Structure 1
């Protein structure tokens, strides 16, 4: 008789692997923090210290060692409120990036001379680091949300545009010819053939844009960025509240992963044919 060993499903193995890697990471982090390899010791906060900073940032707590002064979260906002404000700014930047980038990408991909003319400017914007022009945006639009949304838009706009261009240029010519033979107009070709065929690339560009927006949010919130998770991460770092700064960084990273998972889920629902022959 032969015995068969039942292997756990792939999804279970994946989650077990992630859990084990997380345990190893936390254990290594705790050992490094306890070893005091960096002086002063508060520059290497332990996982428990970061967790305590996270809890304090989401609750009312006493400061100064006394009980007579109770503050609300950090900078008078809970951490989740800082996150919501940053999400709103990022959402607006992404929205404008889609509203401008998708039509422009469709035009640049369909009309070659437009692509040749505008393409270098899109590549120029894509190559610029956010800190290079945050000062100009603050000077032009002020220190409030307008300059921040503009910066996030400029971070999100190029990848969405370039992904749309690649999608348009990948549309099969026989699909376009078939639609033309049925009497489709130019607008109908765009809405019924080109745009649906390009949608997978647009969603991929949106995923990249979300990543760029999150990497830009700290720069966007350097000036008058409170409330805002990026502004709080920067301010806490300058005030040597390293545990709180690490907590903000972890929240930013985990939120970005969650948003990417949401986009991938939407992609599976909207374009289920992607990756299939």
Structure 2
């Protein structure tokens, strides 16, 4: 690894150490009660509990932590898959068919502006309390940024670039394949990364009903017994999982879109 990479890792490790030290100092000073600021060791203890059988109980709420994480991730991946499958062609249509854009774009913006809980009740009525309603909610949270990213990517292509391809004898499909899609890829990956962020921020809302197993459902359930340490653990795991998934997408982006440069 290069010196720059070593330096970046060192800085991040140092910032994490400082954060943990401040957290531990506040907890030890009893500035607030454990109900508001749990001790880091208590959160670590919950992490151990979540992966073991303790007091006759399996993990937390009957499932191991990795099972909670996997169920949430699987819901997110399904919602994200359909968001990409729907958002990419929709974005291309919005960018290339003006009447379609005039009619449909306001609806995409409308859906993007809605908070998830505003329509989750409708999704439960339509699709039930099982995974279908959750995946639909995650899809609705994820597809607008992908659609708008593709729209912006296509519209930012210089007209002379398209005209140049046409003047060289390229047909419509060849222009799309060799000019439009490569130009849109950087914006598409940006849209996917934004969509992943929206999906993770929506996962707790998606799992408020019948969300166990699920890390969002586990976080929601902590309010019943005021389990602040479990809530903090869920927040940390959701954040770390989002970072890992984002890093995977960035790695794919660096391979697929090398001309954009490392990010």
- TM surpasses 0.5: yes
CA contact (8 A) 2:111 2:140 kept: yes
Residue of structure 1 aligned with 2:9, choices 11, 15, 18:
15
Question: How far off is 1:237 after superposition?
Answer: 3.1
Deviation larger for 181-190 or 210-219: 181-190
Match of 2:208 among 222, 239, 243: 222
Q: Which of 235, 240, 247 pairs up with 1:249?
A: 235
Gaps of 5+ in 2: none
Counterpart residue number, 2:53: 60
Match of 1:51 in 2: 44
Q: CA deviation at 1:172?
A: 2.4
Describe how 1:184-199 pairs up with structure 2 within 5 A. 184-199=170-185
The Cα shift of 1:246 comes to 0.8
- Partner in structure 2 of residue 154 of structure 1: 140
Map 1:60-209; keep pairs closer than 5 Å: 60-62=53-55, 70-209=56-195
1:275 Cα deviation (Å)?
4.8
Residue 71 of structure 1 and its aligned partner are, at CA, apart by 1.3
Contact 2:254 2:261 in 1 (8 A): no
TM-score normalised by L of structure 1: 0.90
CA distance in 2: counterparts of 1:207 and 1:12, whole angstroms: 25
How big is the shift at 1:34?
1.8
- Structure (1 or 2) with the larger CA radius of gyration: 1
CA RMSD of aligned residues (A): 1.5
TM-score calculated relative to the size of structure 2: 0.95
Shifted more, 50-59 versus 176-185: the winner is: 176-185
Separation in 1 of the partners of 2:61 and 2:85? 34
**1: CA distance between counterparts of 2:182 and 2:117?**
36
Instruction: Write the distance in 2 (CA, Å) between the matches of 1:10 and 1:119.
Output: 43
Q: Find 2:24's aligned residue among 21, 24, 30.
A: 30
Q: Distance in 2 between matches of 1:110 and 1:91?
A: 28
Q: Deviations over 1:213-269 (max 9, x none)?
A: 000000000000011010001102332111111111100000101111111111110
Q: 1:155 and 1:233 mapped to 2: Cα distance?
A: 20
Question: Partner of 2:143: helix, strand, or coil?
Answer: helix
Give the CA deviation at 1:59: 0.9
Q: Indicate whether 1:240 and 2:222 are aligned.
A: no
TM superposition shift of 1:19: 1.6
Unmatched 5+ stretches in structure 1: 1-7, 63-69
More helix per residue: 1 or 2? 2
Which residue of structure 2 aligns with residue 67 of structure 1?
none
Structure 2 Cα separation of the partners of residues 148 and 233 of structure 1: 16
1:65 matched to which residue of 2? none
